[in-house]
Amino acid sequence: MRRFFESIDVLAVSSVAEGTPLSIVEAMGAGVPIVATAVGGIPEQVTDGANGYLVEPRDPAALAGGIGRVLGDPENAARLGRAGRGRALREFSVEAMTDKIETVYEAALAADAARRPASRPAMAPRAAERT
């Protein structure tokens, strides 16, 4: 995918329904500015004006306008790309995602431990182990 992202000046995502597209994270990691519809999880990835532009779904003129803004201003496009890359590294890298998952597990374990009486073990022995 690296060669693909090196060959484009902007990633346009025109979805009308979407989850959290990996293509946006990949483009951000490659420093490619994003123009995307504000649906699903996309606004959690793209901050309008900071690392790309968000437009309303089913509005091709707005999508074209966002693409034009990126292509018509190379300095702004470079700024958006740098911001996207920084955000991808901070929030969506393997290390960042692993840290977030560990935090969730640690919080769940701490909550479980707080509910469990100190005298009760975390796991009761299985029937076969009791004999």
pLDDT digits (tens, 9 = 90+) for 25-77: 999 999 999 999 999 999 999 999 999 999 999 999 999 999 999 999 999 99
Q: Does position 95 have pLDDT exceeding 60, yes or no?
A: yes
Give the three-class secondary structure for 102.
Answer: helix
The pTM assigned to this predicted structure is: 0.77
b/e 15-54 (16+ beta carbons within 10 angstroms → b)? eeebeebeebbbbbbbbbbbbbbebbebeebbbeeebbbb
Q: Can you list the domains of the chain with their CATH numbers?
A: 2-88 (3.40.50.2000)
Cα 97 from Cα 78, distance rounded (Å): 26
Residue located via tokens 């992202």:
5
Q: Please tell me the predicted confidence (pLDDT) of residue 119.
A: 59
In single-letter form, the type of residue at position 45 comes to: Q
